[in-house]
Amino acid sequence: MNPKFTRLYDMALKDLTENLLPWWMEKTVDHECGGFYGQVDDHDRPIADGTKFITLNARLVWTFASAYRVLGDARALEMAQRAYAYFVEHFYDKEYGGYFTRLDRQGRVIDDHKYVYGNAFALYGLSEYARATGSQEALAYAKEQMENLEKHVWDPQYKGYYEATTRNWTYSPWIRGVNRQPTDVKTMNNHLHLIEAYTCHLRVNHCNFMQNKVREHLYVMLNRIVNHDIHHYHYFQDRAWNPTSTDISYGHDIEGSWLMMETAEVLGEPEALRKTRDVCVNMARAALEEGFTDEGAMLTDYDPVSGHRSQRLSWWEQNEAVVGFLNAWEMTGEEKFLDASLKCFDYIEDHFVDKELGGWHPILTLDGKPVPNVNKVDGPTCPYHNARMSLEIIERYRKHQAKA
């Protein structure tokens, strides 16, 4: 076994089991109102009136279910059951199906529109929970969720999915998803998280319809959203896939480079594997050459027209860089990718891990200092990217061990 990979594995297992998961289990459970706190500040203090957002809560279902599946940890199962029970009880729209966007701390709906990005994570979390626990109820919820997405937000003319709808699934470009403005009818970010959700759902609902749907989704990503001239994703596009911006997101590029490969592997079709591998290797190379700093951090975004570059570092780009470069090493055998993966994890350990209070700092300055007054738990700030990074390393290492 490559000793660098072994070191990466040791670091992943240690942070996951001794820092990240224990911090979330101890600091974020809302014993008074149920589920988990919607916000926790940078001093580990819950914010009393913090609202509860779909993305965070769906990701909690995914994270603890996946941790239980990989580690077999009884406490992770307990947390997964807690997250799942709260999510289907309070976020599920019993009248129209799908999941509400935001609740107050007491679990009352305060935003009932259908945020497709968040509903993608609902499908992801429910499918992973069914996969980890064998729950037929969760599988039924997941199947219903997939059917709603297909019925209401899939575009039969140009393919792909819309950003947001009203509560009863009426599409409107004026309801914000992860787009900037109404002309951004489709976004890379939305499709990236839909493909991971559909891929996970295919694992637990393997039928011809899902096989065809996941294949379609993969080829939309490869043919419409990847800019093959520069090996980056288009960030925002109109309904017919014409780009509406020039922005590059290094974190999403390196994340997509391994998620699309995962989809091709789950599909198991030689043609898809061949096409996807070449695209993903090129995207990983571009991310390494253009977005990876000498210190070992992945930059956030860049506009090649204006020259603007983000002046902060986010936790999640680092997590995806670790997995994306590890995946590129597995695909190519090129040691520079494994070196980059390990270097990025070292940077995480040195700068993002909160050595004083535990957990992680979510945002840093470019010189690696925590940005003050940024919540450690918030709507999108969750344990999904960093837990998934470690879980991916653990699972991949076990596969290498089995082959050896």
Average pLDDT over residues 83-94: 98
Average pLDDT rounded to a whole number, residues 175-188? 94
Rounded Cα distance between 98 and 168, Å, is: 9
Which residue bears the tokens 């295919």? 202
| CATH numbers and ranges of domains, the chain | 3-403 (1.50.10.10)
The Cα–Cα gap between 21 and 389 comes to: 13
Report d(CA 337, CA 319) in Å as an integer.
14
pLDDT at 318 over 90: yes
Long-range contact pairs involving 134-141 (C-beta distance under 8 Å, separation at least 24): 135/84, 138/84, 139/204, 139/205, 141/88, 141/92
The answer for residues whose C-beta is within 8 angstroms of residue 255's C-beta and 6 or more apart is 192, 320, 323, 324
What per-residue string of b and e applies to 169-195 under the rule 16 or more CB within 10 Å gives b?
A: bebebebebbbeeeebbbbbbbbbbbb
How many angstroms separate the Cα of 358 from the Cα of each of 16, 182, 296, 365? 11, 40, 22, 19
Share of the chain above pLDDT 70, in %: 100
Q: In the predicted model, what is the mean pLDDT of residues 244-262?
A: 97
pLDDT at 105: 97
Is 0.85 surpassed by the pTM of this model? yes
The pLDDT, as a whole number, for residue 270 is 97
Query: Is 353 in a helix, a strand, or coil?
Result: strand
Query: pLDDT for 355-402, tens place per residue?
Result: 999 999 999 999 999 999 999 999 999 999 999 999 999 999 999 999
Alpha helix stretches (DSSP H) within 87-115: none
Q: Averaged over 289-304, what is the pLDDT?
A: 95
Per-residue pLDDT at 403: 87
Which residues are 243's β-sheet partners? 237
pLDDT confidence tier of residue 323, bands split at 50, 70 and 90: very high
Instruction: Please report which helix (H) or strand (E) contains residue 129, including its range.
Output: helix 116-133
Work out the pLDDT band at 182, boundaries 50, 70, 90.
very high
Give the pLDDT score at 16.
98
Q: How confident is the model at residue 404 (pLDDT cuts 50, 70, 90)?
A: confident
Predicted pLDDT at 370: 97
Q: Is the pLDDT at 154 greater than 90, yes or no?
A: yes
Please answer whether residues 247 and 230 qualify as being in contact, where contact means their C-beta atoms are separated by less than 8 angstroms. no
Mean pLDDT across 36-53: 97
Mean pLDDT of the region 49-60: 98
Instruction: List CB contacts of 226: < 8 A, sequence separation 6 or more.
Output: 232, 233, 234, 279, 283
Mean of the pLDDT values across residues 215-224? 98
Q: Is the pLDDT of residue 166 over 90?
A: yes
CB-based contact 163:187 (threshold 8 Å): yes
